[in-house]
Amino acid sequence: MAARARVNGLDLYYEIVGEGDPLVLVHGSWVDHETWQRVVPRLARSFRVLVYDRRGHSRSERPPGQGSRRQDEDDLASLIELLGAPAHVAANSFGASTALGLAARRPELLRSLTAHEPPLMGVVGDGDQELRPVLRAMEAALDGVLAALRAGEDRAGAQRFVDEVVIGPGGWERLPERYRATLTANAPTFADEHGDPDWARLDLARLAGFPGPALLTFGSESPPWFPVIVGKLAAALGGRARMRTLAGDGHVPHLTHPDRYADDLTEFIGSSRGADPCG
């Protein structure tokens, strides 16, 4: 079922498929709900799955003015309630930051949380000295991307993001044109996300109050700051969190190893039901 919902003053596009416990998938920056297309059929065997385009992405409305991650969190909360709260939530990248932010603020909405590589650079403290050089290099690359976007050069900014931040040199040329078109179309929202002063921050003390099971993952092929971020999140959650390295994966395991991702998520949710405070 494909539909639109009026949520927090704007229209969001979403799709629901399958039967079972509710599961919401939250995509990262630049992309849209189609990034989950390789895992949805397998997940729909066990869950009632909702995918959607976050505000400012593809078929969802892009509101004027500076946005915030908190607005994305509120959108996610409304969609969980539409699907049937509480729900399991699995999220990637900026979507994972969004899901973690909601788990900290409204933990009663989530039965479980699975988060892959949230770019919450704000939780990396000054004591992580060995990461400072690579973080500075990443920040310089992002500054170049954002400069292109602010100059109205959306396609050039998207290409720089792919070639300098995510995949590496030549990555842009290897992408199918329809993916390049999606990244270009959603580029202004990436700039907007980074205009939010709190985009990379999370209140770890508040997150510690989330009572549900959590699976926090990072890829073995990803940049070295992600294990540090995930480790700090896992420490805040204590024994309720599992931390896992995904061998052979990078930033988008649901694209590179979709069957394994879907099976791991299904297994985690199934094994955590006994610890689920919502039953």
pLDDT for residue 279: 43
pLDDT for residue 82: 93
Q: Looking at the structure, tell me whether residues 29 and 104 fall in a common domain.
A: yes
Q: Using DSSP, state whether 187 is helix, strand or coil.
A: helix
pLDDT for residue 124: 83
**What is d(CA 18, CA 49) in angstroms, rounded to the nearest whole number?**
6
Q: Looking at the structure, tell me whether residues 60 and 133 fall in a common domain.
A: no
pLDDT for residue 127: 61
Q: Which of 176, 195, 214 is the last residue of a domain?
A: 195
**Overall number of domains in the chain:** 2
Q: Looking at the structure, tell me whether residues 122 and 133 fall in a common domain.
A: no
Q: What is the pLDDT of residues 172-221, one digit of tens each?
A: 999 999 999 999 999 999 999 999 999 999 999 999 999 999 999 999 99
pLDDT score of 239 more than 70: yes
pLDDT band at 278 (very low <50, low <70, confident <90, very high): very low
Q: What is the pLDDT of residues 134-179, one digit of tens each?
A: 888 888 999 999 999 999 999 999 999 999 888 888 989 999 999 9
**Token pair listed for 30:** 């630049």
pLDDT for residue 91: 98
268 Cβ contact partners less than 8 Å away, ≥ 6 residues apart: 112, 114, 213, 215, 242
**What is d(CA 249, CA 272) in angstroms, rounded to the nearest whole number?**
24
Classify the C-alpha dihedral 139-141-144-148 as positive or negative: negative
pTM to 2 decimals?
0.94
Q: Looking at the structure, tell me whether residues 118 and 157 fall in a common domain.
A: no
207 Cβ contact partners less than 8 Å away, ≥ 6 residues apart: 100, 103, 104, 233, 236, 237
Q: Looking at the structure, tell me whether residues 84 and 136 fall in a common domain.
A: no
Average per-residue pLDDT for the chain: 93
Q: Which of 195, 219, 241 is the last residue of a domain?
A: 195
Q: Looking at the structure, tell me whether residues 6 and 117 fall in a common domain.
A: yes
10 forms beta bridges with 7
**Token pair listed for 124:** 């990396």
Q: Looking at the structure, tell me whether residues 80 and 142 fall in a common domain.
A: no
Average pLDDT over residues 35-57: 98
pLDDT for residue 274: 57
Beta-strand (E) ranges in the chain?
2-7, 10-17, 21-26, 47-52, 87-92, 110-116, 214-219, 241-246
Q: How many C-beta atoms lie closer than 10 Å to residue 3's C-beta?
A: 11
Q: What is the pLDDT of residues 80-134, one digit of tens each?
A: 999 998 999 999 999 999 999 999 999 999 999 999 999 998 988 666 677 778 8
pLDDT band at 277 (very low <50, low <70, confident <90, very high): very low
Domain limits at 167?
129-195
Could you tell me the CATH number of the domain that includes residue 49? 3.40.50.1820
pLDDT band at 240 (very low <50, low <70, confident <90, very high): confident
Q: What is the pLDDT of residues 3-42, one digit of tens each?
A: 999 999 999 999 999 999 999 999 999 999 999 999 999 9
Cβ atoms 11, 61 nearer than 8 A? yes
Q: Looking at the structure, tell me whether residues 106 and 171 fall in a common domain.
A: no
Q: Which of 152, 169, 195 is the last residue of a domain?
A: 195
Q: Looking at the structure, tell me whether residues 29 and 121 fall in a common domain.
A: yes
